[in-house]
A = this chain, B = another copy of it.
């Protein structure tokens, strides 16, 4: 059984994910959608509420509903970039691939990742920019034997994290969050001061016990925070 509000949800989701409606794009009003789907406003509202919950749109009285800005890896733990949550609409996210090399895994890193040394990897470095300000440095390793398609992917249209999510189902992820001081390179890239407190997120993702990707994302501490709502584990 496919309900009307599920249809509306899916249709809008498709346009957003497909890039048809860019961040900041104003989506039709509830009334227009109700007319288009020949249903009541409340049914539309249900679909839009679900989209809000997924962080895909924001709704504002009087002005309408807008496609939200891409979120910096909301992907896994419901931990998202909340610093901008209140003003999701209209933020411009961009990224730039700084480097992209195919290598073999060195011993030290292999140990850290608990993967065999010598395995072929794709090593990426990427800068994320939000509203013209550097927001994160992404340093990533993709295991090419698990994700062979990455060998020919240059991530010119889709950032690596998003691309991977679409390509590879993952079954487990591990996160580590630390605070570090910016070294010279990091400070330069993030346009911040050397020694500035930065938030360091490391994520390793597995599929059936094999590492899919390992990524280290460095945010300037003053421009970023993680936030998340949680419920008790047990009652």
CA distance A177 to B227 in the complex (A): 6
Cβ of A15 to closest chain B Cβ, rounded Å: 12
Which residues from B are CB-within-8-Å of A171?
A: 231-232
Q: How far is the CB of A187 from chain B (nearest CB, A)?
A: 12
Q: How far is the CA of A195 from the CA of B232 in the complex (A)?
A: 35
Interface pick from A68-76, A114-122, A135-143: A68-76
Enumerate chain B residues within 8 angstroms of A180, measured Cβ to Cβ: 179, 197, 221
Are A16 and B235 within 8 A (Cβ)? yes
Interface size band for A: 35 or more
**Contact between A227 and B179, CB atoms less than 8 A apart:** no
Task: Determine if A231 and B177 form an interchain contact, defined as CB atoms under 8 angstroms apart.
Answer: no
A77 CB–B CB distance under 8 Å:
yes
B197 touches A177 (CB 8 A): no
| Chain A, range 95-122, C-beta contacts under 8 Å to B | none
A49, closest chain B residue (CB): B46
A2 within 8 A of B: no
A37 within 8 A of B: no
Judge if A8 is at the interface, Cβ distance under 8 Å: no
Bound complex: CA A196 to CA B221 (Å)? 12
Residues B174 and A233 in contact, CB atoms below 8 Å apart: no
- Give the CA-CA distance A171 to B229 in the complex, in Å: 11
The answer to whether A79 has its CB under 8 Å from any CB of chain B is: yes
Question: Is there an interface contact between B176 and A179, defined as CB atoms closer than 8 Å?
Answer: no
Chain A residues numbered 165-194 whose CB sits less than 8 Å from any CB in chain B: 169-181
Cα–Cα, bound, A54→B224 (Å) = 28
Asked if A17 is at the interface of the complex by the 8 Å CB criterion, the answer is yes
What's the Cα separation between A53 and B130 when bound, in Å?
32
Contact of A170 among B173, B178, B232 (CB under 8 A): B232
Besides A176-B226, A178-B221, 12 more A-B contacts (Cβ < 8 Å) are: A54-B231, A71-B233, A71-B234, A74-B231, A76-B231, A78-B233, A171-B231, A173-B229, A173-B230, A174-B227, A179-B198, A195-B195
List 11 A–B pairs whose Cβ atoms lie within 8 Å, in order of A's numbering.
Answer: A75-B233, A171-B232, A172-B229, A172-B231, A173-B232, A174-B227, A174-B228, A175-B227, A177-B226, A179-B179, A179-B200
